[in-house]
Structure formats: C-alpha cells, structure tokens
Amino acid sequence: MAKIPHRIILTEEQMPKQWYNLRADMKEQPDPMLNPATLKPIRTEELYPIFCEELAKQETDCTTHYFDIPEPVLDLYMTYRPSPLCRAYHLEKYLDTPAHIYYKFEGSNTSGSHKLNSAVAQAYYAKQQGLTSLTTETGAGQWGTALAEACAHFGLGLDVFMVKGSYNQKPYRKSVMQTFGANVIASPSDTTRVGRAILEMDPETTGSLGCAISEAIEKATTTPGCRYVLGSVLNQVLLHQSIIGLESKVAMELIGEYPDIVVGCAGGGSNLGGLIAPFMQDKLLGKANPHFIAVEPASCPSLTRGRYAYDFCDTGKVTPLARMYTLGSGFIPAPNHAGGLRYHGMSPVLSKLYHDGYLDEARSVEQTKVFEDAVLFSRLETVLPAPESAHAIHGAIQEAIRCREAGEKKTILFGLTGTGYFDMTAYTSYLEHTMTDYIPTDEDLQPGFDSLPQI
Ligand SMILES: *Cc1c(COP(=O)(O)O)cnc(C)c1O
C-alpha cells in the first residue's frame, strides 16, 4: 500500500456542507437551560434578547440532525478550510510507537485557532438579522481575534471585553483585533455596571473570563441592534465546530483509517465536542466504539473534580443556568496558570456524555508537563502549538507510549486546535524554569462549590 501522506487535505467537493447536531442522536438529552428567575426551562424566544434568532433556535434544537451551512459561511470557510489532517510520523518515530498518530490542525488561519469556525457562523446570522454590532469576551485572545475577522468580513461593529491579565500580557493580540476594526476594552472596565461593581470590590483584579462575559452581556442588552456572542460552551458553538470532526472523518475514510482513540483538550468543550461529533454518532448508534479522552489543566479541573450541577455560565450571574460539570462561576485559576482552558464550566452536551459514560475519560495535567510536550512536539513536527492544544498533544503522547508498552497498533486522532505565537511569555517561563505548577486543594475549590445556585 502507498505511504499515507503527511497531510491529507480534502477538495472543495469533498468538504462537508452541513453541520452535525450531536444532540439529535443522544439517547438522553442534556438537562435544559433554566431561566434563573423562574427556574423553568428557557423557551427559545426568551433567548432572543441575548442571541440572534437563528442561533437561539440552534441552541435549543435537540432533534434536527443536520443544518445546511449557509452559502456565505461556506464561502468564507473556503478561504481557510478544509484544514489539514496530518500524520505525526516524526513523533511516532521518536516515541518508537506502533500507533498511528493523526492530528487535525486548526491553526492555519490568521486567528490561529478553531474559533473562527463558529465566529464566521455567528457573525453571518447576526448580519442576516439586520443587527449592527456584537459584543464578546476573550481570555487568551483567540476568540476575540476570530470574531474580529468575521465581523470585519460581514461589516459588523464589535466590542471585545478582554480579560485584563491577558490584555496586559498580550498587547499584540489586542493590535490584531484592532487591525480588524474591533474595539478592545480591558475587563473589568468602568464602562459597565457589573464591571464597576467588580472593580469596587477588588480594584487590583486581573479579571476573569466569567467577569468579561458579564460585561459583554450587559453591553449587548443595553445597546440597540447589538447581541452578545460566545465562543465556546454553547450548543450552537459545538454544532458549528462539528466541521472539524466531519472533515476528519472524510479524510480518514479516504486513507482507510478510523480512530480507536480520540483526544482533545477541554476548556469549554467546543473543539472536543466538534472533533468527536461524528465518531460519537457512530458510538451512539452502535456502529463503532472509539475511546474518547478529554484533557484539562490540573489548575482548572472542571471535568475531573467539578460538580455536575446547574450553574451560571458567567461570574455576573446573568446568563441562563446550564447543568454541567463546574467548579462554580466564581472560580478563578491560580495566577501562575499559563496554559489556557481556564473556564469554570463545561459544555452541557459534553457534560452529559461524560456523566453517562459515552465520553470515556477525562484527565487533568500540570502545566509544566504540558509545556514539555509542547516543546517536544514543536521540535519534531515543526508546529508551535498553543498551550491549550498541547494538553491534547500530551494526552496523545501518553496513549502512544501506552500502545508501545502494550504492543498495540492503535490509531490515535487528536485535535491540534491552534498555534502559540502569542503565548511566548508562557513558553519563556517554561524554558527558563520559572514556570511552576499549582494544583488546587479541596479547600481551594470549596468556595466555588459554595457559590453554586441551590436548585
Ligand atoms: C479557546 C481555545 C481552546 C479551548 O476552547 P474549547 O471550547 O474547549 O475548544 C483550545 N485551543 C485553542 C487554541 C483555543 O483558542
């Protein structure tokens, strides 16, 4: 048989033209979002003040299997998709493993991550509805950058509330977003009521993702023609990200492969949910039984140490309640944490799949181990991974080593979600041995759990 090429790239004809909605094949649905005021399940119309209508419908639709990708979205996808499926030959050789290691590389667009897949969709639907601007939050900056690109393309205004710590640490991220025309505000800011309240309590705070979300939502709900958009966690985002898994599946079919093990990093769960979607469908329908592994930081361990409970999606407690694995909306990782994936909760879809045993495994890992494998991978495969993505690399390497020890010729697929060019402060601290690990104690986690709404 001919050698499988390093990079498999689909033609435009081979590209999927629909997104896949995993919920439609789940035997039991995730628990519904609740209105925090009434504690009743949210009706789609109740979401219209926050999300644009088409996205609100996608959010609550548990029965439609496939959604056509609108033509203008496909058009923009074609400028950077399909993304390559790569065979990590050099890594395999280095590890001396019989396993085949593949990675789906989402970092070859300007935003540097998979987040553009949902940003394009969300900006398109907003424009369709006649909205004039969007707001969002960004932590590390990838989501804000992706959305800035999408808004520039469709001619929408954009306010990005950027977690203050990142705003100060990553000035070039801010410049990229400004280049695409976005207005970037350090969060917490004095431009919103919730921001001012948080600043009053703690003027020195470096901010958090949850706090930035609250500010962005307040801005959206008080500005005419404006809506809030979120880059992870939500059902609609998982739907859009299914393009990652759908492309991977077609590409693997072309070379006669099917993954035995699928590994992804988990922040809010969007890339993992998107990557595993069509393979999880096979598992749900009894057609195949791949082993799914989520990898998260030891300093923000929502799946491995969180509670499966209803919680707010933001610190300001203004979003609907979602049942998910959560550390509590007040949770903020230790300040030395540099590896991303710092969100307190997890996609309700993935949470349900994990709870019911379909998402087989979650692992947490210390950041120095993550960076060790990030550096190894960059030298072997000539890709500088985002620290987030390096969690998946770490998980894949562990599996490849296990295959070597067990003499198993498994096929491993992992999601390489993005590049790390804006994370060089973190790389530097790893290379200079000043990076430290901190695993929260049960006492550290308790206040977050205490803040969970009593339902
Ligand atoms: C945002 C981000 C993640 C984590 O988000 P998920 O929603 O869990 O996918 C992972 N990798 C990169 C590069 C990101 O930008």
Q: What is the mean pLDDT of the chain?
A: 95
Is the pTM here over 0.75, yes or no?
yes
Q: How confident is the model at residue 213 (pLDDT cuts 50, 70, 90)?
A: confident
* Number of helices and strands in the chain (H, E): 17, 15
231 within 8 A of 136, measured Cβ to Cβ: yes
> What residue's CA is closest to ligand 1, atom 2?
388
397 within 8 A of 350, measured Cβ to Cβ: no
Cite the DSSP H helix spans in 263-386. 270-284, 302-305, 348-355, 367-381
pLDDT at 1: 54
| Least confident range of 96-100, 211-215, 243-247, 263-267 | 211-215
pLDDT of 140 > 80? The answer is no
| Least confident range of 104-118, 302-316, 366-380 | 302-316
| More confident call, 217 vs 437 | 437
pLDDT at 49: 83
Task: Tell me the pLDDT tens digit for each residue of 3-44.
Answer: 888 999 999 999 999 999 999 999 999 999 999 999 999 999
Structure tokens at 141: 């900056």
Q: How far apart are CA 235 and CA 355, in angstroms?
A: 17
Q: How confident is the model at residue 199 (pLDDT cuts 50, 70, 90)?
A: very high
- 190-210 average pLDDT score: 92
Residues with CB under 6 A from ligand 1: 113, 115, 142, 232, 265-271, 341, 386, 388-389, 417-418
Q: Which of 83, 115, 324 to mutate to test the pocket of ligand 1 (most atoms within 8 A of CB)?
A: 115
pLDDT at 446: 96
pLDDT at 113: 97
Domains and CATH numbers, the chain: 7-14+70-112+234-450 (3.40.50.1100)
Edge-first strand order for the sheet with 183-187 is 183-187, 157-163, 133-138, 226-228
Residue 406 Cα to ligand 1 midpoint, Å, equals 31
pLDDT of 307 > 80? The answer is yes
Residue 407 Cα to ligand 1 midpoint, Å, equals 32
pLDDT > 70 fraction of the chain, expressed in percent and rounded: 99
Ligand 1 atom index nearest CA of 112: 13
Structure tokens at 399: 């599996």
- Distance from the Cα of residue 55 to its chain's centroid: 17
- 303-311 average pLDDT score: 98
